Amino acid sequence: MADLAARNESPEILFWVGCAGAFDDRYKRVTRAFVRILEHVGTKYAVLGLEESCTGDPAKRAGNEFLFQMQAMTNITTLNGYGIKKIVTACPHCFNTIKNEYPALGGDYEVIHHSTYLQQLINEGKVGVTGGESFKGRRITFHDSCYLGRANNIYEAPRDVLAALDADLVEMKRSRANGLCCGAGGAQMWKEPEPGKKDINIERTEEALATLSGAAEALANLGGVETETSAPGPHDLQGSIIAVSCPFCMTMMSDGVKNKEQESRVQVFDLAELVASAEGINA
């Protein structure tokens, strides 16, 4: 961004990478996939690079309002300094915080989650989702991120993106407004869970696997801790996908799939990766 500003240019969008997008090895691949899409469609974009800092979301949800506001005001100063108007981010936590909580502190921007942005690109025909990997016939289930769905009422954009892939979409019993959290929000990502009977991401992964294998209906007590995915469904899990649109969900669902020893058959992908693959431009 500094380079663009030095040349007196301004970008169409600022891509807010987020800490996970910048540092987490798995989510860096999502960042790169999204950047390739931006390059592919010729969007004039910029990133803050070293000038970006944590939005403060985990601090605020953990109750550290002081630290949150320090982060927020620092970021707002940077963003306002560059005259940023429109921000796109692949992290629902950054999205929610900048969109909803920065305005009270002097940061007013048009903030778009990448699922909505990808949906727009597909609708405008800029991305054809053809020419690359075909998803025809592959089973995909979408795990709603709380901070995209319930927090901001975005349920359809990620589904529209997936629908464009021509895959075999299956919905989990708990989806959209009834979706089950991956277990990482509210700063849970950085601590061990409280003692209980099961970890939340395991519960959610079991539900996803049961849905993908078609065993969900056969499972009697889906929704409680008694759920087990031992009952095989009619579908082979091989090649099926759990689609996510949040770095936290990515980590939690990937860990869950590993825990269930299904990583050779079931993969967890972000929407941006799926679109880039279908377009044949993935890194």
Partner 1 sequence: MLQSILFLLLLVAAFGFFAWQVRKIRANILVGRDRDMSGHAAERFQKTLLVAFGQQKMFKRLTPALLHLVVYVGFLVINIEVLEIVVDGLFGTHRFLSFLGPVYSLLMATNEVLGALVIIAVAAFWWRRNRKPPVKRFTGVELRAWPRLDANIILYVEVILMVALFTMNTSDLKLHQLRGETLPGAFPISSLLTGLLPANAGALHLLERFGWWAHITGILLFLNYLPSSKHFHIILAFPNVWYSRLVPQGQFSNVESITHEVKAMMDPSFVVPPAPTAPDGSALAPTPFGAKDVEDLPWTNLLNAYSCTECGRCTSVCPANLTGKLLSPRKIIMDTRDRMEEKYNSPVIFRPNVYGAEAKHEPITDLANATLLRGKVTPEELWACTTCNACVESCPVNINPLESIIEMRRFLVLEESAAPNSLNVMFSNIENNGAPWAFSPSDRFNWADDLFAAEKPAKAAVA
Q: Which of residues 183-202 bind partner 1 (CB under 8 A)?
A: 183-200
Cβ–Cβ under 8 Å, residues 70 and 47? no
For residues 208 and 203, give the distance between their C-alpha atoms in angstroms, rounded to a whole number. 9
Contacting partner 1 within 19-38 (CB under 8 A): 19, 21-24, 28, 31-32, 35-36
Buried b (16+ CB within 10 A) or exposed e, 139-173: bbbbbbbbbbbbbbebbebbbebbebbebbbbebe
In the complex with partner 1, the residue whose CB is nearer, 94 or 165, is 94
**DSSP assignments along 50-70, one per residue:** GG----SHHHHHTT-HHHHHH
How many residues touch partner 1 under the rule CB under 8 A: the total is: 81
Query: How many CB atoms sit inside 10 A of residue 233's CB?
Result: 18
Rounded least distance, CB 221 to partner 1, Å: 10
| Helix, strand, or coil (residue 89) | strand
How far is the C-alpha of 230 from the C-alpha of 209, rounded, in Å? 10
Minimum distance, C-beta of residue 201 to partner 1, in the bound complex (Å) = 9
Q: Is 243 in the site for partner 1 (CB under 8 A)?
A: no
| Residue among 76 and 164 whose Cβ is closer to partner 1 | 76
Contact between 70 and partner 1 by CB under 8 A: the answer reads: yes
Q: Does 280 bind partner 1 (CB under 8 A)?
A: no
Query: Which x/- pattern over 72-111 shows residues binding partner 1 (rule: CB under 8 A)?
Result: -xx--x------------------x--xxx--xx------
Residue 49 contacts partner 1 per CB under 8 A: yes
- Asked if 152 interacts with partner 1 (CB under 8 A), we say yes
All residues at 6 or more sequence positions from 256 whose CB lies less than 8 Å from its CB, including other chains: 201, 202, 204, 205, 206, 208
Q: Pick the stretch among 40-48, 81-89, 230-238, 270-278 that binds partner 1 (CB under 8 A).
A: 40-48
**How many angstroms separate the first and last alpha carbons of the chain?**
23
Tell me the one-letter amino acid at 229.
Answer: T
The yes or no reply on residue 219 touching partner 1 (CB under 8 A) is: no
Q: Nearer Cβ to partner 1, position 190 or 264?
A: 190
Contact 271, 114 (CB under 8 A): yes
Question: Which of residues 31 and 240 has its CB atom nearest to partner 1 in the complex?
Answer: 31
When asked if residue 42 is in the footprint of partner 1 (CB under 8 A), the reply is: no
Return the number of the residue (65 or 236) whose C-beta is nearest partner 1. Answer: 65
Whose Cβ is closer to partner 1: residue 36's or residue 139's?
A: 36
Q: Does residue 131 interact with partner 1 by CB under 8 A?
A: no
Q: Please name every residue paired with 113 in a beta bridge, in sequence order, or none if there are none.
A: 89
Site for partner 1 contains 205 (CB under 8 A)? no
If one counts every other C-beta atom within 10 angstroms of the C-beta of residue 96, the result is 22
Q: Minimum CB separation from partner 1 for residue 53, in Å?
A: 4
